């Protein structure tokens, strides 16, 4: 889940408007030494937090700077599909999740429409234009012009306005992210603003907070960006571990539980992770024992996980667990129990 959203350079600049409540008096009148200019860090923080979020459909377009608009048609892994709303995302994910060792392909039926970070709707006519938007998004990230989508501000929020002599000129009641973005990008060079704190917000880790100053807003952003970075790192780890496991046979290198290494209990068993999320234990010495089939999934939060599920009362049922990925290479994957870090398991490639 990326947090980048960008104003496309090829998008036609839209004239955004909103109805604001403006008055010559408010709860704070007079001067405010903490007023911010349009080029301040606080202005940048609020502008980036208010950009249109295009990250929900990244698994389709690979571009968190644009939001796909419906309806649209595409071919997913060779299967044509028409998407009417976000409810159709589950169908796409099911197609992509059928096998975990293939390269998912998405071919759009152009033209398609997207909404950019500045809320402008743009018609994308071909793959070249689509690729240009994606490249601009990557450039935005490198230049620090990315949006902040890990914090949701609770509206309404009142912005107090000032002139360059710090005298209050009015106030604006902002009712939505789009209105906040319009307010921030509409400030002139000789206009200053201050947020009428406190305001409430929710971070992407689920924490609800009350913010009482510009500094606290910056701290909240730093906290949620760090959380998103950890999620991205974990997601990358999960992808790499799944690629190592899928379609490959392993042996139990170590299995430590209760302080004892019980790897010898599985010396005669191979463990195969198939590309359709099955895990198959096979006794390579005694064929009479046959095969024991279970399931596995690889997922992530702020850690990467491998869930192994075998039926109870089998020769390998003790391997059933929710495991956290500790370390991994192309030949060795080490895990620890999600509930008891002293229980560890290592698979070595055969």
* CA dihedral sign of residues 103, 324, 296, 271: positive
Domain spans in the chain, listed from the N-terminal domain onward: 1-236, 246-349
Give the per-residue pLDDT at 31: 65
What is the C-alpha separation between 98 and 77, in angstroms, rounded? 10
> 246-349 maps to which CATH number?
2.40.128.270
The residue ranges of the chain whose pLDDT is under 70 are 1-31
CB 178 within 8 A of CB 119: yes
Helix (H) or strand (E) holding 238: helix 214-245
The encoded tokens of residue 95 equal 């197609």
Helix (H) or strand (E) holding 106: strand 106-108
150-179: pLDDT as tens digits: 999 999 999 999 999 999 999 999 999 999
pTM as predicted: 0.82
* CA dihedral sign of residues 134, 138, 139, 144: positive
Give the per-residue pLDDT at 12: 31
Give the per-residue pLDDT at 66: 95
Task: Give me the helices (H) in the chain, please.
Answer: 41-50, 58-61, 89-96, 127-142, 177-185, 214-245
Q: What is the DSSP letter of 87?
A: G
Q: Residues 6 or more apart from 243 whose CB is under 8 A from it?
A: 101
Give the per-residue pLDDT at 147: 87
Give the per-residue pLDDT at 2: 38
Give the per-residue pLDDT at 176: 98
The encoded tokens of residue 114 equal 């997207």
């Amino acid at each position: 889940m990326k947090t980048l959203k960008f104003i496309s350079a090829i998008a036609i600049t839209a004239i955004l408007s909103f109805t604001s409540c403006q008055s010559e008096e408010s709860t704070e009148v007079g001067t405010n030494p903490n007023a911010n200019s349009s080029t301040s860090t606080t202005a940048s923080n609020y502008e980036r937090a208010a950009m249109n979020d295009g990250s929900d459909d990244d698994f389709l377009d690979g571009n968190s700077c644009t939001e796909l608009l419906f309806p649209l048609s595409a071919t997913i892994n060779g299967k044509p599909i028409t998407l009417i709303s976000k409810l159709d995302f589950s169908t796409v994910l099911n197609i992509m999740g059928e096998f975990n060792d293939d390269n998912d392909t998405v071919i759009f039926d152009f033209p398609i429409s997207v909404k950019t970070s500045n809320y402008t709707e743009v018609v994308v006519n071909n793959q070249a234009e689509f690729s240009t938007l994606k490249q601009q998004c990557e450039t935005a990230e490198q230049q620090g012009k990315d949006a902040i989508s890990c914090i949701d501000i609770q509206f309404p929020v009142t912005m107090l306005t000032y002139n360059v002599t710090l005298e209050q000129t009015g106030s604006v009641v902002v009712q939505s992210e789009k209105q906040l973005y319009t307010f921030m990008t509409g400030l002139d060079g000789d206009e200053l603003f201050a947020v009428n704190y406190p305001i409430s917000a929710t971070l992407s880790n689920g924490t609800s907070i009350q913010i009482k100053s510009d500094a606290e807003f910056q701290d909240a952003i730093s906290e949620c960006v760090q959380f998103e970075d950890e999620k991205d790192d974990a997601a990358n780890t999960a992808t790499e571990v799944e690629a190592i496991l899928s379609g490959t046979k392993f042996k139990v290198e170590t299995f430590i539980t209760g302080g004892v290494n019980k790897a010898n209990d599985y010396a005669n068993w191979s463990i195969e992770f198939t590309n359709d999320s099955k895990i198959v234990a096979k006794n390579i010495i005694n064929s009479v024992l046959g095969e024991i089939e279970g399931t596995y999934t690889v997922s992530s939060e702020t850690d990467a996980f491998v869930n192994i599920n075998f039926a109870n009362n089998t020769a390998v049922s003790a391997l059933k667990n929710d495991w956290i990925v500790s370390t991994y290479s192309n030949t060795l994957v080490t895990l620890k129990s999600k509930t008891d870090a002293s229980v560890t398991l290592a698979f070595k490639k055969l």
